[in-house]
A and B are shown apart, each in its own frame.
Chain A
Amino acid sequence: MSSGVKKSGRLIKAPENFLAAQDAKAPALMRRKFLAASASTAAASLAALGLSAPKNALASVGEGDPNILNLPAHTTGLGMPVAANPYGMPSQYEKGLQRRESPGLTRVSAASVAFTPLQGTFGIITPSGLHFERHHQGWWDIDPSKHRLMVMGLVKNPKVYTMDDIMRLPSVSRIHFIECGANTAMEWGNVAVPTVQYSHGMVSCSEFTGVPLSVLLEDCGIDRKAARYVLAEGADGSSMTRTIALDRALDDVIVAYGMNGEMLRPENGYPLRLVVPGIQGVSWVKWLRRIEVGDMKWAAKDESIHYIDLMPGGLHRQYTGIQEAKSVITTPSGGQTLLDKGFYNISGLAWSGRGKIKRVDVSVDGGRNWRTARLETPVLSKAFTRFNIDWVWNGGPAILQSRAQDDTGYIQPKINQLRAVRGTRSIYHQNAIQSWRVADNGEVSNVQIY
């Protein structure tokens, strides 16, 4: 059944498969190496590893950089005309940054995930073409002139709206992150994936434009006395249904058609999706066709069979929606090699489903000592916040971590703290501090450390 694919079957299985018997004793060795290497000098380790010397030495330049001395074609010729690309595309040199599936994670690509390449994005807005994808029964490009939204249930007047109707109503535009509840799920038990794309790439952040759901509920005359919940339902084959609390529905939930200044992309629910700030992505029902007002939770397939969190002892937590505060360093991050010793701007993203990011601390020594990072503006509620901090890499081993705190006072936990309460099988809501190990050869890799 659709989303079962990626859950119990997959997310648990992958990690163990990656650990060969010969590697079982390696962590202890690593630790010794890490401690020992801390003492060695940067220059010595650089030389020993044959890393290139600093490239800014004048001697290596000679007469000068040929890229400066020899004028290139683009400086001496005529460039492309306007509208050569009527819809602009990224440079040919950027084609490495794409949404990608994690091999072996799911069995069917119509019920799968394509991860956002967080290692290559800047600021807080995810380019629409790189927004992560998660479909339960494939995606469609729906004719907007035939799309309808029905609002019914505990309302005085059940109504049908066309896209024309919805786009005539007063609109709001707000920046929010959307994170799949299963983001980072592969790492509950142990390290399973190499880069931040696969460890954290089921999260994106966009400016969404649409009509507050409260406007539509009022327009239909919601029965405020009897109403407790609303159900959102999609128009695709899976007809995703999710229960939303009424206080949220009347607060910041948006029936959105716009994303980053244009219409939603088909993979993200064109022409209409629900935006439920702070709540896991599955509730942001795509291709939204129906809102029902009711008085009890629905226990829909994706809140009673999938998207339930298994706890130690065998109980499942049901209706876990909030994405708690989380952060991750995106530069440098797993799978990269630092160019050289010297200055780096450690940069990353923080977000909280409960409100604004208040502070992010960064450690370069595996969590022993921390410094508070700069938060770049804007700092918005339930949105990405970009953080930066200066770092001079001395060429020795390091372990980089970031730790977010939101404006409720909540502090992002360590993985062992999460495991102590929730075990390793709950799949969803894994918001632990991420560790990137910088080896003395400059390679950055994904590790877990207590």
Chain B
Amino acid sequence: MSRFIKSLRLVASAGMLAVCVSASAQGANQKFSGIGRTATPAEIKAWDIDVRPDFKGLPAGAGSVAKGQDVWEAKCASCHGVFGESTEVFTPIIGGTTKKDIETGRVANLAREDFPQRTTMMKVATVSTLWDYINRAMPWNNPKTLTVEEVYAVTAYILNLAEVVPENFVLSDKNIAEVQKRMPNRNGMTEKHGLWDLKGKPDVVGTLCMSNCATELKITSFLPESARDAHGNLKEQHRPIGPARAIDTSRPAAAAPTADRPVVVAAAPAAQAATASGVNAAEISKKANCTACHAQAAKMVGPSWTEIAKKYKGDAKAPAMLAKKIKSGGAGNWGAVPMPPHPNLKDNELTALSQWILEGAK
């Protein structure tokens, strides 16, 4: 009997020992045994890239304004403009801030209702955000490829364009806290509102009036007739059955006074650009973000489709040359702004795309 109990105890304590071992291996909660594993220091280092306003997470390093300009012109200017002023692809980064703003920490133009748009430097309160943004998400089509020095340098270049730091400045982890004290909109944020905390107090609340409620019945805004088909033909965007039909906006309103207003005729739907290879080039141009820099007729960052088609008209070598150019990118033919490479496009897609462009991207 006692032997039996003794052996039971042995089994029990051996079992407990096993539990203890696995618990210490898990380190924390062992309710979900066998699920997940401890992250290695190298893994954490690879992914823990965030930089906080107190600069926790900022890697040691430095970069000069001059170096930043080089990086900028090679990798950023195609979208943001040489001076960060471009409106073609993205909202401008630079502009709208003054020396006075650097003193006060409030961007005065933000109070102006008539100021056309808000640049990044008008909005951003924390220099850590700029650094983290560039490091994390730029260049837009090739993020996380800049070195630490390049990120410091590009940040320094932007700060220099906004006159926050001088031309000979070298931004580093040692002096970035001082730069923070010169950010033009550093005092421009408020957290006094009810939209963070679940129990936050709403700032605007309606009323539950049910009858004869105060209303002027005054229509203050509506879409003018000239915008009737600005979103395409609405008839094609609704179900063909049900309690209502969508309006055919390719035609004027049935009873609307149209005599004094020009009737906007809907553009013919874009033909599906199916090529011999069965690949839809128009779709590819969209998916590969070609349209970020190229438009049908207007010059944006890159030349228009029409310009390209015109230039290479009748050139037998053009299709192959263009396909290669799209794949590997480069600069020269149309100016200094380089076109990014598109290594993921397949050969038949490249062929279809170059053929489509040379035919005028119709």
Contact = CB atoms under 8 A, between A and B. Distances in A.
A337 to B, nearest CB: 5
A425 B219 contact: no
B255 A93 contact: no
Given A300-B129, A320-B196, A18 B28 contact: no
Interface string A294-316: 10111111001100111111111
A247 to B, nearest CB: 7
A312 B111 CA distance: 6
Contact of B27 (A120, A157, A160, A369): A157
B91 interface: yes
A219 interface: yes
B237 A96 contact: yes
Contact of B224 (A18, A34, A158, A319): A18
Interface stretch (A65-73, A78-86, A171-179, A414-422): A414-422
A319 B261 CA distance: 45
Given A157-B38, A191-B223, A304-B124, A336 B193 contact: no
Contact of B220 (A20, A297, A449): A449
Interface in B270-301: 286, 289, 291-292
B31 interface: yes
Size range of the interface on A? 35 or more
B165 interface: no
Contact of B234 (A301, A309, A335, A399): A335
B132 A319 contact: no
Contacts of A412: 206
A440 interface: yes
Contacts of B112: 314
Nearest to A197: B237
Contact of B239 (A31, A97, A301, A319): A97
B333 interface: no
Contact of A417 (B47, B204, B216, B243): B204
A444 B87 contact: no
A94 interface: yes
Contacts of A290: 47-48
Contact of B238 (A20, A97, A338, A344): A97
B22 interface: no
Interface in A1-38: 1-2, 4-5, 7-9, 12-13, 18-20, 22-23, 26-27, 30-31, 34-35
A218 interface: yes
B205 A331 contact: no
Contacts of A5: 89-91
A316 B217 contact: no
B250 interface: no
A2 B249 CA distance: 33
Interface in A148-205: 150, 152, 155-162, 165, 168-169, 190-195, 197-198
Contact of A411 (B107, B132, B208, B215): B208
Interface in B198-244: 198, 200, 202-213, 215-228, 230-232, 234, 236-244
Given A299-B129, A413-B206, A195 B213 contact: no
B354 interface: no
A357 B83 CA distance: 50
Interface string A85-104: 00000000110111010111
A237 B242 CA distance: 42
Contacts of B12: none
B194 interface: yes
Given A31-B218, A304-B125, A449-B217, A4 B39 contact: no
Contact of A316 (B44, B190, B254): B190
Interface stretch (B67-75, B137-145, B167-175, B321-329): B137-145
Given A298-B52, A337-B245, A321 B196 contact: yes
A41 interface: no
A296 B53 contact: yes
Nearest to A17: B227
A198 B37 CA distance: 45
A239 interface: yes
A38 to B, nearest CB: 9
B195 A161 contact: no
Contact of A8 (B91, B261, B289): B91
Nearest to B193: A317
Of B206, B216, B245, which is in contact with the most chain A CB atoms at under 10 Å from its CB?
B206
Contacts of A49: 254-255
Contacts of A107: 88-90, 292
B142 to A, nearest CB: 8
Contacts of B203: 421-422
B108 A429 contact: no
A318 to B, nearest CB: 4
B136 A156 contact: no
Contacts of A157: 26-28, 38
A439 interface: yes
Nearest to B211: A369
A64 to B, nearest CB: 20
B339 interface: no
Interface stretch (A54-62, A125-133, A262-270, A360-368): A360-368
B90 A4 contact: yes
A296 B246 contact: no
B194 to A, nearest CB: 7
A324 B202 contact: yes
Contacts of B237: 96-98, 100, 117, 119, 195, 197, 335
B176 interface: no
14 contacts: A22-B261, A96-B246, A137-B140, A156-B27, A197-B237, A220-B28, A298-B50, A304-B126, A318-B191, A320-B193, A320-B196, A322-B200, A369-B210, A449-B217
The 6 tightest CB contacts between A and B, nearest first, are: A221-B28, A314-B110, A314-B111, A157-B27, A336-B244, A190-B221
Interface of B: 26-29, 31-32, 34-39, 43-44, 47-50, 52-54, 80, 87-91, 93, 106-113, 117-118, 120, 123-126, 128-129, 132-133, 136-138, 140-141, 143-144, 185, 188-198, 200, 202-213, 215-228, 230-232, 234, 236-247, 249, 253-256, 260-261, 286, 289, 291-292
